[in-house]
Chain A
């Protein structure tokens, strides 16, 4: 994981011409807005297709994809330049291990991301999973706790295995809509995004099909069952998310460590001290009384403190 000089994005030559043209167009638009670098972070459960998506976008086999073994606990960042534009894609290990969220993986990811700026988060999941349960909510909570709620303003959901045959009784679009709705509802409740924020920054859903058996259209581009070429569409959605007005997430030490628990409620400390002083040293509020002091002088104003006065000495 040494710092690498960003390599030339040679994989883009492998795409069909139509895809290359669209990608160049999108990158050109980004550069017009003075954005010359883009950092994408991929997160999600294990075995959903994060590394495959990285390989598909870059057009080369950067990440090892193994159908049966969990990937190692090592995040990986791949940088490619093209015509002055730098694209950084960060691939992370799966967050779920055997039924629970893998805290060690989260720690490793945090340490890896120190002092990097994240432009877009891609939350990856499978399109052909039929249940969304509390485990997904725990993952989303873990992501929210790591980066803060603002990450969801700059994120999109990626559903892999897009070239699926939907189950009986549902056509492809209905299935896709229900799946995205369920997943977005889970994100909203797990990250506690309220309705207003969700309407201001809606989370887009993109479809991806990474296998070699993906259907192609006349131009040779890989297409979804709907007919759209998914690689340019994905990059387009990413550029839309960047331009929605939110700020990129800067991962600094403060963000990683989280709020300092010692700072909490510090404001109240002087107030409590003052209150205690008043209660315990209540002499402040006792009445003044004229009395005769020990030397015999009269008219001395003395505070009456019950504990200082023996009954025989009281002369009022």
Chain B
């Protein structure tokens, strides 16, 4: 029934489209047709309106309605016969309060205007790095920021983009909403995905992980930035659980394409340690925790080699960051951290391992029913040939060799007599 209805609608639409484009060409006007269509036929009717992965600031909370929705389509035809479709999706299901849906037409990511705010030296370095990426035919880069809450993920996002995209509040936890920001510059698209903190009150927040997984469906991640504070003095079981959660979500391969980012880089180290010593010890402790949490072994026969150690980058997001003579924000060691970070990101993305595509299979994890399926016919064959046949043979042998009891022989003799 449904496919018949769909077929009918497609036919009607095709006819209408032809008619409307012809009329529009004749009248050089912009025609609108307002018609209700069924929910499922959208993709067949309007193949151009794909949900593009680089649309900025996607709201991941899609409206799910269990009862059929009626969509109102505005079909506009201009004089050239091209049609553009905008939708007002209304739903008759109860519980859906939001009536207006996003515009389904493909959106163009915004221009990276924030880069103008950086000092000239930083801009030059960034342009150089992006140029190198484009030479290798990489025209888009997707970066994912993950970590505990309150470590500076949203601040780092704001610093890289040069504008205040994400709200940063010192005292309130961010909302449970991942956010993707896309910016283009000279043909190169940079997507940065900001996620909510994975730790809530002492334990890993499974709900946040589910929300992040759903948000990342069908996206490809080039680089993972694991964010933590430089001035935290303890690495304990909680960090290991966070790392385990990330590994369980994306697989071990994500760590081949990840960078550890330490914020609050402009700190005064505790007494008795120089800045470099402190930084080295902190990164070593954190990297050891990652190796243990993700169960990455260094031996080759394990099948998974971390061929190069995970790089560690320093970041200082506050306005009080020291600047050098060119005006660039610098770390206590003197290097400008924004170009440094982008350079490390490009190094990692060019390493040769494949980027992580987040598909349904990855999210759901391996199907437990598939495990050991290979053995089922073998076991059945074994059971048939060895066990069943053996038992049958034994039974037949028993029947042949058994002594018949006296009453049976007497009864059969009696039967024979008649």
**Chain B, range 145-189, C-beta contacts under 8 Å to A:** 149-150, 168, 170-171, 173
- Which residues of chain B come closer than 8 Å to A213, judged between CB atoms? 268, 271
Q: Which of A130, A165, A178 contacts B150 (CB 8 A)?
A: A130
- The answer to the question of B6 belonging to the interface, with a C-beta cut-off of 8 Å to chain A, is no
Complex contact A178–B273 (CB within 8 A) = no
* Most A C-beta atoms less than 10 A away, residue of B149, B234, B281, B319: B234
Complex contact A99–B318 (CB within 8 A) = no
- Which residues of chain B come closer than 8 Å to A129, judged between CB atoms? 150
- Which residues of chain B come closer than 8 Å to A132, judged between CB atoms? 171
Known interface pairs A46-B234, A165-B318, A211-B268. Does A131 touch B173 (Cβ–Cβ under 8 Å)? Answer: yes
- The answer to the question of A115 belonging to the interface, with a C-beta cut-off of 8 Å to chain B, is no
Closest A residue to B318 by beta carbon equals A168
* Separation of A68 and B235 alpha carbons in the complex (Å): 8
The secondary structure that dominates the B interface is loop
- The answer to the question of B237 belonging to the interface, with a C-beta cut-off of 8 Å to chain A, is yes
* Separation of A109 and B101 alpha carbons in the complex (Å): 59
* Separation of A134 and B173 alpha carbons in the complex (Å): 12
Complex contact A133–B200 (CB within 8 A) = yes
- Which residues of chain A come closer than 8 Å to B278, judged between CB atoms? 67
Known interface pairs A47-B233, A213-B268. Does A99 touch B282 (Cβ–Cβ under 8 Å)? Answer: no
- Which residues of chain A come closer than 8 Å to B238, judged between CB atoms? 98-99
Q: Which of B171, B268, B281 contacts A130 (CB 8 A)?
A: B171
- The answer to the question of A72 belonging to the interface, with a C-beta cut-off of 8 Å to chain B, is no
- Which residues of chain B come closer than 8 Å to A100, judged between CB atoms? 202-203
Known interface pairs A133-B200, A134-B202, A213-B268. Does A99 touch B150 (Cβ–Cβ under 8 Å)? Answer: no
- The answer to the question of A170 belonging to the interface, with a C-beta cut-off of 8 Å to chain B, is yes
- The answer to the question of B397 belonging to the interface, with a C-beta cut-off of 8 Å to chain A, is no
- Which residues of chain B come closer than 8 Å to A46, judged between CB atoms? 234, 236
**Chain A, range 105-161, C-beta contacts under 8 Å to B:** 128-135, 138, 161
- Which residues of chain A come closer than 8 Å to B171, judged between CB atoms? 130-132, 178-179, 182
Smallest Cβ distance from B263 to chain A, in angstroms? 11
Smallest Cβ distance from B246 to chain A, in angstroms? 16
Complex contact A133–B202 (CB within 8 A) = yes
The secondary structure that dominates the A interface is loop
Complex contact B202–A68 (CB within 8 A) = no
- The answer to the question of A97 belonging to the interface, with a C-beta cut-off of 8 Å to chain B, is yes
- 0/1 string, B179-223, CB within 8 A of A gives 1: 000000000000000000001111100000000000000000000
Q: Which of A47, A130, A161 contacts B170 (CB 8 A)?
A: A130
Complex contact B202–A138 (CB within 8 A) = yes
Closest A residue to B173 by beta carbon equals A131
- The answer to the question of A21 belonging to the interface, with a C-beta cut-off of 8 Å to chain B, is no
- Which residues of chain B come closer than 8 Å to A175, judged between CB atoms? 170
**Chain A, range 145-196, C-beta contacts under 8 Å to B:** 161, 163, 165, 167-168, 170, 175, 178-179, 182
- The answer to the question of A276 belonging to the interface, with a C-beta cut-off of 8 Å to chain B, is no
* Separation of A131 and B241 alpha carbons in the complex (Å): 19
- The answer to the question of A212 belonging to the interface, with a C-beta cut-off of 8 Å to chain B, is yes
- The answer to the question of B1 belonging to the interface, with a C-beta cut-off of 8 Å to chain A, is no
Closest A residue to B200 by beta carbon equals A133
Known interface pairs A130-B170, A131-B150. Does A99 touch B237 (Cβ–Cβ under 8 Å)? Answer: yes
Smallest Cβ distance from A178 to chain B, in angstroms? 6
- The answer to the question of B320 belonging to the interface, with a C-beta cut-off of 8 Å to chain A, is yes
Complex contact A99–B271 (CB within 8 A) = no
* Separation of A131 and B172 alpha carbons in the complex (Å): 7
- The answer to the question of A70 belonging to the interface, with a C-beta cut-off of 8 Å to chain B, is yes
Complex contact B271–A170 (CB within 8 A) = no
* Separation of A247 and B171 alpha carbons in the complex (Å): 35
Closest B residue to A167 by beta carbon equals B170
Complex contact A68–B318 (CB within 8 A) = no
Q: Which of A68, A98, A211 contacts B237 (CB 8 A)?
A: A98
Q: A98-B237, A130-B150, A170-B170 are in contact. List 15 more A-B contacts (CB 8 A).
A: A46-B234, A70-B236, A97-B236, A98-B241, A99-B241, A128-B264, A130-B170, A134-B200, A134-B201, A163-B268, A165-B266, A168-B318, A178-B171, A182-B171, A213-B271
Identify the B interface with A (CB < 8 A).
149-150, 168, 170-171, 173, 199-203, 231-238, 240-241, 264, 266, 268, 270-271, 273, 278, 281-282, 285, 318-320
A-B contact pairs, 24 of them (CB 8 A): A46-B236, A47-B233, A47-B234, A67-B273, A68-B281, A97-B237, A98-B238, A98-B241, A99-B199, A99-B236, A100-B203, A130-B170, A133-B173, A133-B200, A134-B201, A161-B231, A165-B266, A165-B320, A167-B318, A168-B168, A170-B170, A175-B170, A178-B171, A211-B270
A-B pairs, top 7 by smallest CB distance, nearest first, are: A98-B237, A134-B201, A99-B238, A135-B202, A47-B233, A99-B202, A130-B150
